[in-house]
Structure 1
Amino acid sequence: MTLEFTHWPAERAQRYRDHGYWIDQPLTQILHARSQAQPDALAIICGERRFTYAALEQLSSNLASRLAERGLGQGDAALVQLPNVAEFYIVLFALLKAGIAPLNALYSHRKLELTAYAKQIVPKLVIASREHEVFRDDGYLETFAQVGAHPQITLLMGEAHADNNLAQWIEQPSSQPVHYAPTGADQVALFQLSGGSTGTPKLIPRTHNDYHYNARTCAEVCQLTARTRFLCAVPAAHNFLLSSPGALGVMHAGGCVVMAASPEPMSCFELIQRHAINTVALVPSAVALWLQAAPQHREQLQSLEYLQVGGAVFADSLARQVPGVLGCQLQQVFGMAEGLINYTRLDDSDEQVFTTQGRPISPADEIKIVDEHGEPVPVGEAGMLATRGPYTFCGYYKSPEQNAQAFDQDGYYYSGDLVQLTPTGDLRVVGRIKDQINRGGEKVASEEIENLIVLHPDVTHAGLVAMPDESLGEKSCAFVVSHNPNLKAPALRRHLLELGIAEYKLPDRIRLIESMPLTAVGKIDKKQLRQLLAVETTRAWLQTRLLQLIEDGEELDPEENLIFYGLDSLHVMKLAAELKERRVAVSFEELASSPTLSRWWSLVESRQQAA
């Protein structure tokens, strides 16, 4: 029995084998090869615990044999939710050995997400932690049952009962010899989660062949070796941290993965110094925090050689600070759980590294950048990214409608990214087509949050849009129409938390408005919402900036001539230049001829709406 998924066309599959991209080996080969070649080398450091490759091989085999003894194997699926601990990798390899396909949920996911995943894969096995709020009591079983999922076995970290204690299952092998084996190399090895633009993330089936190629090729491009010490500070379940090159790439090279609970700078700096870590992968929001903290702790970062940044667009201004402030080489990463991965190379020019997201890892990656009519755009112009290749999937799990929209007749996957191709052959990401917010690398689907907001009895309409943020790249703003004039933002956030969503999905700002702008066909007009948000943001910025310039400290009267507050022509020239940087085309002459705050607000609003 095997799990269903969309296979690669036979001609392309044969081509990938002929060129050696697919080697028809299970992902477990990565661990097995290392446990044979260097059994005593460190594979994982987790707090005070050390795991060699031999130990990782043995412990994962223990768990695989226990699961096989209980009748689980090929064709079964598991829902796994573990924090950044060594058990994550022990469980991963155990499930791969037993032929059980894991779906690794992020630890930040809560009841809403977990039940949605359970409904899709109907897991026979659940592995989680008693510390997580969903699993603190046995109520999750009833919740899963409501969506048709009835796991046969549940194993929990921190569980008091031996029968369900994950640690005991890992430490003790089966009582008698049992047969178990991975699924075929061309079958589903595991599920990854899509970024999700229309609701709960869709599931991405990854095969042994494509994911193995993904991990080992990333390791080669990034020049990982047995001396690599890799800090895993972003959630281990992220595709970025698992295979791009992530832990699987590090283990392919024979290096060591060091676990960190979070990317918080002080604790990570201590780990870097203590374990001579030389490589780390972070999302841009975490890098911003590291750049702020690093100048006072440079002595702790002396071993750091490479910083890989992915998960969201990395601002040029931050990228240029990395070598000087962190004292290491920057490598930008643009990838997706669906497949395609791009890197800047270690010998690229500074401009390539600071201003692009690099090139595909494989010579077999095929890319198109097209306009809304499907026609190729000239080099340097923005267009929609479409791709196919030996590690880019061919269809979401049990999602025929989404697949019809995401793929063209030639099998190219349309990722929803807007990109430019530079003259050097690199990709530069300039935006998204899909209605999705990238909050520091965590993807928030607008439609999912909108549908949950309107479940509140006082809400009639809701629209969620992105707003720029210096540290996270993007934050979310919810525009809400309510028939209750007393409804407040805290009540809506409480409503969302009670529905069980992850906290990072909570709207960062909630704006209650009288009516929702609609398109001609009756859909929420997100363009108008973004314009309204841009106007409000600029108005607030303008008032704050004026107070900084006049250094008076008093509240501004919107109708008073700003000259009487001490604003001079040099200040006005500076404001005009700063507004231009914010993409508001207002001239010095226009500001000087209308020197009141209210008239400036009107001028800014008209220019932003025209844009």
Structure 2
Amino acid sequence: MQNKRYIKKLEQYEGLEGWNRMPLGRQLEIWADGYGDNTAVSDENGEITYRELNEKAEKMAYGFLDRGIGNGKKVLVQLPNRISFVIAAFALAKAGAVPIMALPAHREAELSGIMELARPVAYITADKYLGYDYMPMAKMLEEKYDFLEHVIIDGKQENKEELTAIEGEKRELPEVDGYSTAFLLLSGGTTGIPKLIPRTHADYLYNARMSAKRCRMNENSVYLASLPVAHNFPLCCPGLLGTLDKGGKVVLCANTSPDEILSLITEEKVTITALVPAMVTVCMEMLELDEEYDISSLKILQVGGALLEDTLADRIIAEWPCKLMQVFGTAEGLLCFTGLEDSDGIVARCQGTPVSPADEIRIVDESGKEVKDGEYGELLSRGPYTIDAYYMADEANETSFTSDGFYRTGDRAMRTGEGNLRMGGRIKEQINRAGEKILPAEIEAYLCRYGKIKEAAVVGVKDEVLGNRSCAFILAEDGESLELGEIHRYLQELGVAAYKYPDQLEILEFWPLTSVGKIDKKVLADMAVSNK
């Protein structure tokens, strides 16, 4: 017989500073009252004030209600970084509907899984984006799923409802409980089965508010959403919501490209942005080639989404005119940032501390016993903005949460003597080579210290003799060539155990990236197999 599942009681957090049982639609009204004619959001086509944003979201909410889109109904939203995304998200919040935050890069395989699990009544998408025509996919979904009552297009499209035309007569909006689900975020997992992450209005606003506090944001803050804003990092860490809560300005980057990112920082006098490590590297290369970019307005560069190599952290600290803030976070909840007062040594080597005093963390070994400070184990978390279950996923919930409600992040971590977390990569990425355990992040850090290597990524692949073998992918410094034997000699000089030496070496000119700019290790593993 299964143990009764732990269910978090949000009421226990009501005494926390920054906690409020406030629905996001109502919160936007408060922001509009307080910040009025300040610019809230800008994109490549214009800008919108706080007051205008609230008014447009309200009119759209009436239109959604006219179509029966409210009262907990699910809506699949797949829009790029545009003001229309922000309006639609708040309009759905006001109507009491629940947007499912798909990324622009998702295609039929991902969307079909989401459809079958959540059964949304509406799908909101762009007509075209970055050369991709979404209309054939929208038509396929509409024909395949009879529960999908509305396909709404952000753009001009005959015989389809247009997002800009979704308006209705003013009326009393429904009461929305701040403890109800505000968004369904997508898990960053690599399995084909989607896991949806239910975040409530109250916990997500608290998430954003505590993130903004750690970043010391205010009305003068200008946040650049460099990554797809439907992703948790630029949506709420502090992202869009945290910036709006402080009365700042959000600049939406239409494409996650280094030239546009650097141009917008220059033109908009951006004070804070968030990037993944691979994108930081490309931006640094562009800064070396083009002196017209001016990033002197930046006060904070957040880097997260993947492990930041120590050597790259050192370069950022030395070369960028702002404070580096390392970020470890999960869409399921827990957020850790380094502090603006932390020393360069801590910032370069750690991923900080939780943003809330009510966050609870454990670091445990394979038997569930807590490890000592300085030892790696699996990171578990529980707290005010960490979920207690995935949406309609009983099997995943049994394995992803402990009996007392701690979320198993699947990440290796250690706690330093100062109380900071240092992450060690995903546990499932650990390579079991002939019975010996290899941590890719450790080997990547060693390789990046070698003068000929710019960046490195280590993956494990199945091997008939060893069980698993390791393959090191590297980007070499300009004009440098490398062979596997040279790598082995270098690691030997460092005193690294021989079983940790890469069995295979592949040199690349650029990384394959995921939809949010992370190095795609699944693609690397496939390349390692095909190139052997």
Amino acid corresponding to residue 577 of structure 1 in structure 2: Y
Q: 2-side partners of 1:398 and 1:472: how far apart?
A: 40
Q: Aligned partner of 1:221: which letter?
A: R
For 1:54, what is the secondary structure of its paired residue? helix
Higher helix share: 1
The equivalent residue for 1:331 is 325
Q: Which residue of 1 aligns with 2:135?
A: 137
**Per the alignment, do residues 314 and 372 of structure 1 end up closer, same or farther by CA in structure 2, a change over 3 Å counting?**
same
2-structure distance, mates of 1:339, 1:472: 29
Amino acid at match of 1:14: E
Go from structure 1 to structure 2 and tell me whether the alpha carbon gap of 1:144 and 1:164 turns closer, same or farther (over 3 Å shift): closer
Please give the secondary structure, in 2, of the residue aligned with 1:109.
coil
Correspondence 1:200-599 to 2 at 5 A: 200-295=193-288, 296-297=290-291, 300-434=294-428, 474=457, 517=464, 528-531=467-470, 533=471, 544-545=481-482, 576-581=489-494, 583=496, 585=498
**Residues 82 and 285 of structure 1: is their aligned pair in 2 closer, same or farther, counting only changes over 3 Å?**
same
Partner in structure 1 of residue 103 of structure 2: 106
1:401 and 1:47, CA in 2 relative to 1: closer, same or farther beyond 3 A?
A: same
1:119 aligns with 2:116: yes
Cα deviation digits, residues 370-420 of structure 1 (max 9, x gap) = 100111111000001111000000000111111111111111111100001
Q: Which residue of 1 aligns with 2:186?
A: 193
Displacement of 1:20 after TM fit?
4.7
CA distance in 2, matches of 1:436, 1:585: 17
Please state if 1:180 is matched with 2:173.
yes
Give the letter aligned to residue 371 of structure 1: D
Identity %: 35
Check whether the contact 1:123–1:149 (CA below 8 A) recurs between aligned residues: no
**Is contact 1:73-1:98 (8 Å) kept?**
yes
C-alpha separation between the residues in 2 aligned to 1:363 and 1:220?
A: 12
The superposition leaves residues 509-532 of structure 1 with CA deviations (integer Å, 9 ceiling, x where unpaired) of xxxxxxx639xxxxxxxx73334x
Matched residue of 1:530: which SS? strand
TM-score by length of 1: 0.72
Aligned partner of 1:71 in structure 2 is 68
| 2:511 matched residue in structure 1 | none
C-alpha distance after superposition, 1:446-471 (max 9, x if no partner): xxxxxxxxxxxxxxxxxxx9996977
TM-score, scaled relative to structure 2: 0.82
Deviation at 1:200, TM superposition (A): 3.3
Q: Is 289-298 or 319-328 further displaced after alignment? A: 289-298
- Partner of 2:128, secondary structure, is coil
Q: Distance in 2 between matches of 1:254 and 1:416?
A: 35
Gapped runs of 5+ residues in structure 1? 1-5, 438-464, 480-515, 519-526, 538-542, 548-557, 559-571, 587-611
Q: Which residue of 1 aligns with 2:92?
A: 95
Structure 1 residues 213 and 368: CA distance shift in structure 2, 3 A: same
Distance 1:326 1:114, change over 3 A: same
Q: In structure 2, how many angstroms separate the alpha carbons of the residues matched to 1:344 and 1:301?
A: 21
Segments of 5+ residues of structure 2 without an aligned counterpart are 432-439, 449-453, 475-479, 500-532
What is the CA-CA distance between 1:290 and the residue it aligns to?
Answer: 1.3
Q: Does 1:9 align with 2:5?
A: no
- Aligned partner of 2:268: which letter? H
Paired letter, 2:373: V
Once the two structures are TM-superposed, the CA of residue 545 in structure 1 deviates from its matched residue by: 3.1
Mapped partners of 2:430, 2:183: distance in 1: 25
Structure 1 residues 9 and 234, CA gap change in structure 2 (3 angstroms): closer
Structure 1 position 263, deviation (Å):
3.4
Task: Give the letter aligned to residue 489 of structure 2.
Answer: A
Which residue identity lines up with residue 166 of structure 1 in the other structure?
L
**The residue matched to 2:301 in structure 1 has which SS?**
strand
Distance 1:154 1:284, change over 3 A: same
Is the CA contact (8 Å cut-off) linking 1:294 and 1:325 kept in structure 2?
no
| 1:53-105, Cα deviation, whole Å (9 max, x unpaired) | 11111111111110111222112000010111111111110111111100111
- Native 8 Å contact 1:75 1:99 kept in 2: yes
Higher mean Cα deviation, 185-194 or 137-146?
A: 137-146
Aligned to 2:524: none
**Residue aligned with 1:18, SS:** coil
2:506: which partner in 1? Answer: none
What secondary structure is seen at the aligned counterpart in 2 of 1:80? strand
Q: 1:530 to 1:237 in 2, by over 3 A?
A: farther
Q: Give the counterpart letter for 2:246 in structure 1.
A: A
Q: CA deviation at 1:165?
A: 1.2
Work out the CA distance in 2 between the residues paired with 1:398 and 1:161: 36
Distance 2:459 2:165 in 1: 43
Indicate yes or no: 2:58 matched with 1:61. Answer: yes
State the alpha-carbon separation in 1 of the partners of residues 107 and 7 from structure 2. 34
How far 1:37 moved relative to its partner?
A: 1.1
Q: Corresponding residue for 2:33? A: 36
Question: Shift of residue 367 of structure 1?
Answer: 0.7
**Partner of residue 26, structure 1:** 23
Moved more, 182-191 or 17-26: 17-26
| One-letter amino acid of the counterpart of residue 285, structure 1 | A
- Report the Cα distance in structure 1 between the residues aligned to 2:235 and 2:205, rounded to whole angstroms: 11
CA root-mean-square deviation: 3.0
Give the SS at the match of 1:339.
Answer: coil
Counterpart of 2:526 in structure 1 is none
Q: Is the 2:302–2:325 Cα contact (8 Å) retained in structure 1?
A: yes
Secondary structure of residue in 2 paired with 1:321: helix
The Cα of 1:120 is off from its aligned counterpart by 1.1
| Cα distance in 1, alignment partners of residues 494 and 236 from structure 2 | 38
Q: Is the 8 A contact 1:30 1:248 kept in 2?
A: no
TM superposition shift of 1:278: 1.2
Structure 2 CA distance for aligned equivalents of residues 418 and 229 of structure 1: 33
Relative to structure 1, the CA distance from residue 56 to residue 416 in structure 2 (aligned partners, 3 Å threshold; closer, same or farther) is same
Preserved CA contact (<8 Å) 2:110 2:192? no
Q: What secondary structure, in the 3-state scheme, does the structure 2 residue paired with 1:64 have?
A: helix
2:262, 2:293 within 8 Å by CA — same for their partners in 1? Answer: no
Q: Answer yes or no: is the 8 Å Cα contact 2:228–2:256 preserved in 1.
A: no
**Distance change in 2, residues 1:381/1:7 (3 Å):** closer
SS at structure 2 position matched to 1:281: strand
Q: Is the 8 A contact 1:294 1:326 kept in 2?
A: no
Q: Which has the larger radius of gyration?
A: 1
Q: Distance in 2 between matches of 1:127 and 1:62?
A: 17
- TM-superposed CA distance for 1:255, in Å, is 0.4
CA deviation string 1:162-200 (max 9, x = no partner): 75111222xxx31x3344336311111110111214333
Q: Which whole-Å deviations, capped at 9, do the CAs of 1:5-43 have from their partners, x for residues lacking one?
A: x88434xx3321133554211122442222101210001
